[in-house]
Chains A and B, each alone.
Chain A
Amino acid sequence: MNRGLNRFAIFVACATFFLIIAGALVTSHDAGLATPDWPLSNGQFFPKMVGNLFWEHGHRMVATTVGMLTIVLMIYILAKEKRDWVRKLGIFALLAVIAQGLLGGLTVKLMLPLAVSTAHATLAQLFFCTTVSLAVFTSRSWMAAEPLPEEKGTLPLRYLCTAALVTIFLQLVIGATLRHSATWDQHLPMHLVLTHIGGAVAVTIALGMATLTVLQRHKDEKFLARPALIALLLLFVQLSLGIAAYVTRLKSPGDPQPLNPMISITVAHVACGALVFVSTIILTLRTYRVLPARVELKEESLIHDYRIGQDLHVKF
């Protein structure tokens, strides 16, 4: 384990989170087309950053920085990391950030088509997931983790967590679609709002089940309990932000321009969604690390024999 590599991976993950916030600010300010060209802004590397160009070009500058950091991270990983799959993940991170930059360019050149904008927002979350995973895999706690037993006769936790993760990812895609389907001066399409609300219910059930089960079975294991508790708390914050974002967004078509609190709340909702996603990723990865894939059945179970109409005690 290389402590410097882990710290740098954490730094890149934090920079990526900042990049997600910068991107969300572009969308909330309706600044995506503040300049019609890409990769330059109005034909310049450093244009005068006034009006919405501040947000759009600022986002490009942060993105460029994250791209550079990812190159350094990959080189760092290739130099110091011995595990082949971690080295591959480092290469994947670089390819993902390149693809993300190109998708960002396409959103500008194609003038924000919904599919491309949604893909750009979704890949941002996947790239964040990748950098966080690299931070997890290079951490001391990951290396030192010992296998834990699972209670017999129960559903393996890793599958519960994976189900929650997939549900959150789908919800992020729906959220990105909703967010890019109408600008601040238009009403949000109701069918997408309802789908997103349905997704929030599904995420609450899936993540609630996964985290509460972790806390119930492994409350003394900080390695699992801590990310479960954080994910659960963030979920409640995210639900509250979602309601607040909807209420402020309802009012915004009547405003003369994008205004606070709509901007800050919708951006906070995007940022918190990313945090719910990565805390669930950390939890899921850790369950895969320390918990078994299969759980033994209970030694004795009641099985109903329909042929004789009686319950039988069966030993395994």
Chain B
Amino acid sequence: MNKQTKVWLVLSIALSLLALGSACSNSSGDSKGGTNTNATAEAGPYSGPTGTISGVISYNGTPPAPKKIDTTADPVCGQKNPNLMTDDTIVKDGKVANTFVYIKEGTVEGGKKIGDYSWTTPTSEVQLDQNGCHYAPHVLGVMVNQKLKITNSDATQHNIHPTPKLNQEWNQTQANGAPPIEKAFTRSEILIPVKCNQHPWMKAYIGVLKHPLFSVSSDTGAFEIKGVPAGKYTVVAWREGGANGEEKTMEVTVTANGSAKADFSFGGAATSSTKPSLQMMPALELPVMKH
């Protein structure tokens, strides 16, 4: 064996070891990614008066029509959901569903920033189901470290693949009848796209926040954020659309036991403050209280 052959042999072996090492490594998303969950809140948990932010998401003009999805690649999808349509823009009577609304930043009465307070992570799970080769819900919110329970109600296999920028990316197959997959995200991130690489039309978006001050608009376009400390905040409404989505912001003042209105409009004639796209930016970093 001459020198050149030896060099190629060594390179091949090195590449093999790298691949094998990678194959044997734990691909779970929980082992890495860093966390700020131990951060100490300057102000501790909030215990003062709270109010509510509610509103309606409207669409001005003619919304894009839902598109038919071709499910011939997996007959199970077509059998269970023969009229599967895109759900990136669900508009009914001019009202928009699946808009993620959250408090981005602001000042609580008394002068402290909302980010100075800590919030308890709920013990309840948030469910993401795969049903009819479609994610339900399409947009959802969880708190940092809150359990996300993923179920498969279809007679076919899916793979769940979140593609975060700040959290750990993972990709896991879930066969029909397989037990639920439980995951959590360790960093706040707005919003994490989730896709199924087996059925490329399947998409969902997960907003991960360190506080519970978020909501997703219903089919009537309505949303409500309860338990907001009295203060002045920047509220953001994000909806899917285009390559990176679209967001609008609004300054909202919440009074003690009061109800603040925050109506957002999307579409051609929308007038509120608009950013053309959301580059999956990090959300407000608030400390979280461990329980």
Residue A32 lies at the interface, judged by CB distance under 8 Å to chain B: yes
Interface flags, A92-127, vs B, CB<8A=1, else 0: 100100110011011001110000000000000000
Whether A253 pairs with B242 at a CB distance below 8 angstroms is yes
Contact of B243 among A106, A111, A187, A258 (CB under 8 A): A187
Chain B residues contacting A37 (CB-CB under 8 Å) are: 23, 173
- Stretch in B47-55, B111-119, B153-161, B281-289 touching the partner: B153-161
- Stretch in A10-18, A47-55, A288-296 touching the partner: A47-55
Whether B70 pairs with A259 at a CB distance below 8 angstroms is yes
Interface range for A: 35 or more
Using known A-B contacts A36-B27, A42-B157, A109-B23, determine if residue A257 contacts B11 with beta carbons closer than 8 Å: no
Interface residues of A in 179-212 (CB under 8 A from B): 184-187
Contact of A253 among B5, B73, B74, B243 (CB under 8 A): B243
- Stretch in B32-40, B195-203, B226-234 touching the partner: B195-203
Residue B123 lies at the interface, judged by CB distance under 8 Å to chain A: no
Whether B27 pairs with A50 at a CB distance below 8 angstroms is no
- Stretch in B13-21, B91-99, B251-259, B263-271 touching the partner: B13-21
Residue A248 lies at the interface, judged by CB distance under 8 Å to chain B: no
Residue B169 lies at the interface, judged by CB distance under 8 Å to chain A: yes
Whether B74 pairs with A50 at a CB distance below 8 angstroms is yes
- Beta-carbon nearest neighbor of A32 in chain B: B197
The total of Cβ contacts below 8 Å across the A-B interface reads: 104
Residue A256 lies at the interface, judged by CB distance under 8 Å to chain B: yes
Interface flags, B1-31, vs A, CB<8A=1, else 0: 0001100110110011011001101010000
Contact of A98 among B12, B73, B157, B159 (CB under 8 A): B12
Residue B260 lies at the interface, judged by CB distance under 8 Å to chain A: no
With an 8 Å Cβ cutoff, the count of chain B residues facing the other chain is 40
Within the complex, the shortest CB–CB distance from B92 to chain A, in Å, comes to 19
Q: How far is the CA of A186 from the CA of B244 in the complex (A)?
A: 8
Task: Tell which of B19, B69, B70, B157 has the most Cβ of chain A within 10 Å.
Answer: B19
Chain A residues contacting B5 (CB-CB under 8 Å) are: 88, 91
Q: How far is the CA of A34 from the CA of B157 in the complex (A)?
A: 10
Contact of A42 among B19, B69, B173, B200 (CB under 8 A): B173
Whether A52 pairs with B201 at a CB distance below 8 angstroms is no
Residue B171 lies at the interface, judged by CB distance under 8 Å to chain A: yes
Q: How far is the CA of A35 from the CA of B157 in the complex (A)?
A: 10
Whether A106 pairs with B12 at a CB distance below 8 angstroms is no
Whether A50 pairs with B69 at a CB distance below 8 angstroms is no
Within the complex, the shortest CB–CB distance from B5 to chain A, in Å, comes to 6
- Beta-carbon nearest neighbor of B70 in chain A: A257
Whether B198 pairs with A34 at a CB distance below 8 angstroms is yes
| CB-CB nearest 7 A-B residue pairs | A51-B198, A109-B22, A257-B201, A102-B19, A33-B197, A36-B171, A51-B74
The 9 listed contacts between A and B (C-beta, < 8 Å) are A33-B161, A37-B173, A42-B175, A50-B75, A88-B4, A109-B23, A109-B27, A111-B171, A187-B243
